[in-house]
Amino acid sequence: MEVEFVCSGRVNLAYGALDQRMNQAKSACPALRSWWVWCYGWLIRVPRNARYNPPTLTGSYRGEKMEDGPGAVKTGTSTVGITFKGGVVVGADHRATMGHFVANKSVQKLFKIGDNLALTTAGLVGHAQSLARTLAAEVSLFELRRGDSMTVRGAATLTANILSGRPHWVQLLIVGVDSEGGSVYSIDSAGGSIPDSYCATGSGSPYMYGVLEDGFKDNMSRDDAVALAARSLSASAQRDAASGNGMDLAVITAKDGYVPVDQKEITAILKK
């Protein structure tokens, strides 16, 4: 089956207007050999009898119903954010899956989006990477225009607004430090934003919460928070088939900004 891509960039046409024009074209000319189909930001032309489904997701383009397509790669995932006295610790595992198949063992799920901000991602890899690029660019533009760092609440609101306008199959953490101290925001695929002292997301989160509920304390030290994050990610890797293959951790403070945790330190913590 041939599919013709007719746009060199994304089409800035309202979903409702596009839907109306497509239906009008089909009604006016039932003998059409092909028509336009909206496929995740691209307008493509397909044969009338092809019954073509987008390769990544099938269902409503408005996001009311999204199901796995044949090429969907999901991160499975365990991610965590923990506040401590003076900053936050954030981390994520490395595994990506396609159903029961481990598709990749070194996927990046922890992203620095600003000197004081980080993002963790769970869900479809394509959506997660696209959002990470967009948020990093928006945070940089904000800093250039305002001459100041974006607050954690501001970054969470920006992310929520992006997702409420066009839902993605993701679950995110926005973590960081500003004048109010360390913050962790959990953001769902439809743009819901909830702050907390600590949070875990992804398929491994039930196993992580058992460790977090037992070990979290207000005003923890940096070392205790890093150890708790490492233990919670290790626990999810033991029981969740979609999580594992190591982890990335980072510490964010007002003084030092975003600082990755050395793998030797993580290894030493897990050996205790």
Please write down the long-range contacts of 260-265, taking CB distance under 8 Å and 24 or more positions apart. 261/89, 261/91, 261/226, 265/226
Query: Using alpha carbons only, what angle is made at residue 143 by residues 141 and 149, rounded to the nearest 5 degrees?
Result: 140
Nearest Cα residue to 72 out of 60, 54, 93, 56? 56
Does the active-site annotation cover 77?
yes
Measured over the CA atoms of residue 67, residue 68, residue 69 and residue 70, the dihedral's sign is: negative
Helices 263-271 and 222-239 meet at what angle, rounded to 10? 70
Query: Using alpha carbons only, what angle is made at residue 261 by residues 259 and 263, rounded to the nearest 5 degrees?
Result: 145
Q: What's the rounded Cα separation, in Å, for the pair 165 and 161?
A: 6
Marked catalytic residue, from 56, 75, 77, 120 = 77
Q: Which residues form the catalytic set?
A: 77
